[in-house]
């Protein structure tokens, strides 16, 4: 049983690591993901921003959580994904690893910037200031710089293989900062509140606030996935433009 599962996972791993296979099946996947992403994102945002009840302490200012939390969590997840792709690229030299890093980085940087901006807007009525050199805020700013660093390396190094290796290395090393962002509130004294959602234990947020937040997060995750797939397909077309299989696929 375990052997069969392992063989299946290995087969999928190598198939999705092939640009030809990835290009073919990602196109099919996108047909389903785009509608789901748009519906989930709009439902979560409209529900949270317009219809969720006001917070008993923060009033309506807390509503920015429906943008801030999905953006911040997706930015973290995106960098972890880059780290995994970077490890695959460094160890197994798989083509799709470099492509995925290049596809993830721009939208990840946008989400990190959105998280910082919305956090600053939220911080003004909550803390009385837009910015403090808090452990969570500072490490999140560092994540934005890491995203930008990956983008800069990819565009600055002419040789795609060398650029891929450099971006992979920075992606892997940068995962350390993801851990710091995640646990900075517990490790250091911080103005930033603790995690809104808890994997272990009950979440204090009432259901009428939690439901639109979870839907917003799902929508942003799906939107992120769609963006990455589209960018990856574009990069495959650029790199494989002389391949016969691509010419046949585009006919």
Domain assignment present for 113: yes
Res 107: pLDDT: 96
Contact assessment for residue 132 and residue 97, using Cβ atoms and an 8 Å cutoff: no
| Mean pLDDT to the nearest integer, 173-179 | 96
Domain assignment present for 133: yes
Closest CA to 109 of 161, 64, 150: 150
Domain assignment present for 18: no
Domain assignment present for 147: yes
| pLDDT above 90 coverage of the chain, percent | 65
Residue range 28-47, pLDDT digits in tens:
999 999 999 999 999 999 99
Domain assignment present for 166: yes
Domain assignment present for 71: yes
First to last CA, the chain: 41
Domain assignment present for 21: no
Least confident range from 9-18, 130-139, 208-217, 242-251: namely 9-18
Task: Rounding to the nearest 10 degrees, give the CA dihedral for residues 75, 79, 84, 90.
Answer: 160
Contact assessment for residue 17 and residue 89, using Cβ atoms and an 8 Å cutoff: no
Number of domains in the chain: 1
- Taking 60 as the threshold, does the pLDDT of residue 248 lie above it? yes
Which of the 8 DSSP states describes residue 243? -
Higher pLDDT, 154 or 2: 154
Domain assignment present for 19: no
CA distance 117 to 31: 32
Structural domain range at position 95: 63-197+204-249
Which residues make Cβ contacts (< 8 Å) with residue 98, sequence separation at least 6?
Answer: 85, 89, 160, 161, 163, 164, 167, 168
Question: Could you write out the three-class secondary structure of 96-161?
Answer: HHHHHHHHHHHHHHHHHHHHHHHHHHHHHHHHCCCCCCCHHHHHHHHHHHHHHHHHHHHHHCCCHH
């Amino acid at each position: 049983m375990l052997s069969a599962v392992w063989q299946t996972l290995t087969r999928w791993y190598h198939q999705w690591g092939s640009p030809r296979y990835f290009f073919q099946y990602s196109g099919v996947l996108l047909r389903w993901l785009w509608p789901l992403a748009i519906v989930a994102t709009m439902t979560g945002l409209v529900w949270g921003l317009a219809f969720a009840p006001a917070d008993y302490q923060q009033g309506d200012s807390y509503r920015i959580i429906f943008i801030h939390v999905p953006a911040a969590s997706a930015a973290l997840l995106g960098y972890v994904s880059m780290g995994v792709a970077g490890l695959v690229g460094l160890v197994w030299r798989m083509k799709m690893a470099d492509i995925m890093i290049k596809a993830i980085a721009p939208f990840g940087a946008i989400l990190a910037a959105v998280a910082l901006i919305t956090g600053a807007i939220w911080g003004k009525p909550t803390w009385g200031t837009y910015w403090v050199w808090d452990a969570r805020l500072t490490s999140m700013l560092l994540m934005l710089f890491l995203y930008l660093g990956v983008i800069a390396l990819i565009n600055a190094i002419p040789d795609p293989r060398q650029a891929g290796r450099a971006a992979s290395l920075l992606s892997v090393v940068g995962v350390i900062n993801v851990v710091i962002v995640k646990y900075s509130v517990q490790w250091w004294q911080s103005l930033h509140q603790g995690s809104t959602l808890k994997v272990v234990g009950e979440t204090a947020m009432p259901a009428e606030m939690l439901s639109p937040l979870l839907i917003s997060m799902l929508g942003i995750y799906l939107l992120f996935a769609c963006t990455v797939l589209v960018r990856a397909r574009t990069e495959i077309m650029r790199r494989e433009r002389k391949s016969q299989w691509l010419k046949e696929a585009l006919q």
